[in-house]
């Protein structure tokens, strides 16, 4: 008798072929985004507005790099070479959000990444904590434990900067495009990778539900900073005050636009300057 539909996948070999590619792509997308987000945090170790913020950037960078290595290592069971994924790919092969193509030029740009994109990644990862792909269970819980501090840091800076009109104005310039990018990042409701993984029991929610969870989590802090991106609905839940723009969404790369990582970022994230010292 065949196993019930809700049976777990204990190894990558147990995952049906039609699900394997989607799961592998999601893990790679999460790994790439975390590796690059960690790089963006590290770029502000010495440029943060306070010593405490610089120390926080250091801690968050280390967390993200550790998470990315966990995810890259998991892809070995899907036939990938973690060493190649980390050090040998070209820019167009990265499955990162367009927000990470270039470094943020201002502290408000980093706050947008911290508060919005970091939280979006956590919401997506949280949807995997009871996944049918059982190897994710422990790893997801470990990642989420470390991510709580990231959310509090981003929310704290939103509140701090939102105390003055000048701070709110500065935030608006960085937060508006980041909000739109994060809305799209969960994917179109009209099919796609996350919809298929939800149907297969790998993710506990589809794109629209994940978007709603993200807005519910970060919306109050965004509105509290004086930004008109999120709004409280009649039922008390939070929703987006702006429509999602799907005009240039690339579902395969999970990003908008035809851009790629800039050359300096690519060299840095691959470790090109230290290639001769790579040990694994």
Domain residues of the chain, as ranges? Answer: 14-277
Pair 223, 215: CB distance under 8 Å: no
End-to-end CA distance of the chain: 44
Q: pLDDT 10s digit of each residue in the chain, 280 long? A: 333 356 799 999 999 998 999 999 999 999 999 999 999 999 999 999 999 999 999 999 999 999 999 999 999 999 999 999 999 999 999 999 999 999 999 999 999 999 999 999 999 999 999 999 999 998 998 899 889 999 999 999 999 999 999 999 999 999 999 999 999 999 998 888 999 999 999 999 999 999 999 999 999 999 999 999 999 999 989 999 999 999 999 988 889 988 999 999 999 999 998 766 655 5
The span from the CA of 175 to the CA of 169, in Å, is: 10
Pair 36, 104: CB distance under 8 Å: no
pLDDT of residue 279: 55
Closest by Cα among 160, 182, 185 to 171: 160
Extract the tokens encoding 130: 């009871």
Q: Which residues pair with 255 in a beta bridge?
A: 250
The span from the CA of 88 to the CA of 82, in Å, is: 10
pLDDT of residue 1: 32
Pair 161, 168: CB distance under 8 Å: yes
The span from the CA of 130 to the CA of 125, in Å, is: 10
Q: DSSP assignment of 65-109, as one string?
A: HHHHHHHHHHGGGGT--HHHHHHT--GGG----GGGSS--SSHHH
Extract the tokens encoding 26: 């999601």
pLDDT of residue 4: 37
The span from the CA of 258 to the CA of 146, in Å, is: 33
Pair 162, 225: CB distance under 8 Å: yes
Find the radius of gyration of the CA atoms of the chain.
19
The span from the CA of 9 to the CA of 119, in Å, is: 27
The span from the CA of 46 to the CA of 170, in Å, is: 21
Extract the tokens encoding 32: 């790439």
Location of structure tokens 């994060």: 182
Give me the phi and psi of 59, to 5 degrees please.
Answer: -65, -45
What is the DSSP secondary structure assignment for residue 249, as one 8-state letter?
Answer: E
What is the DSSP secondary structure assignment for residue 9, as one 8-state letter?
Answer: B
pLDDT of residue 2: 34
pLDDT of residue 6: 66
Burial class of 220 by CB neighbour count within 10 A (0 to 12, 13 to 18, 19+): middle
The span from the CA of 120 to the CA of 110, in Å, is: 15
Pair 205, 213: CB distance under 8 Å: yes
The span from the CA of 44 to the CA of 240, in Å, is: 29
- The fold of 14-277 is Ferritin (1.20.1260)
The C-alpha angle 99, 103, 105, rounded to 5 degrees, equals: 105
């Amino acid at each position: 008798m065949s196993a019930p539909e809700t049976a777990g996948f204990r190894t990558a070999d147990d995952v049906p072929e039609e699900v394997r590619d989607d799961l592998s792509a999601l893990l790679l997308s999460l790994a790439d985004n975390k590796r690059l987000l960690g790089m963006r945090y590290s770029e502000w170790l010495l440029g943060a507005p306070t010593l405490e913020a610089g120390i926080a950037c250091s801690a968050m960078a280390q967390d993200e790099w550790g998470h990315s290595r966990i995810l890259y290592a998991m892809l070995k069971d899907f036939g990938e070479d973690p060493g190649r994924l980390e050090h040998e790919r070209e820019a167009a092969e990265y499955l990162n959000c367009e927000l990470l193509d270039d470094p943020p030029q201002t502290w408000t740009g980093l706050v947008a990444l911290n508060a919005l994109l970091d939280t979006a990644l956590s919401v997506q990862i949280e949807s995997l904590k009871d996944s049918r792909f059982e190897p994710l269970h422990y790893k997801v819980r470990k990642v989420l434990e470390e991510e709580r501090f990231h959310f509090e840091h981003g929310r704290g800076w939103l509140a701090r900067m939102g105390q003055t009109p000048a701070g709110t104005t500065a935030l608006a310039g960085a937060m508006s495009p980041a909000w739109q990018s994060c809305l799209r990042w969960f994917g179109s409701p009209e099919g796609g990778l996350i919809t298929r993984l939800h149907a297969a029991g790998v993710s506990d929610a589809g794109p629209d539900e994940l978007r709603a969870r993200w807005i519910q989590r970060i919306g109050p802090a965004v509105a509290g900073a004086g930004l008109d991106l999120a709004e409280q609905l009649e039922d008390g839940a939070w929703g987006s005050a702006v429509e999602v723009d799907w005009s240039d969404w690339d579902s395969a790369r999970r990003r908008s636009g035809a851009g790629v990582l800039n050359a300096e970022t690519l060299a840095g994230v691959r470790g090109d300057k230290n290639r001769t010292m790579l040990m694994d």
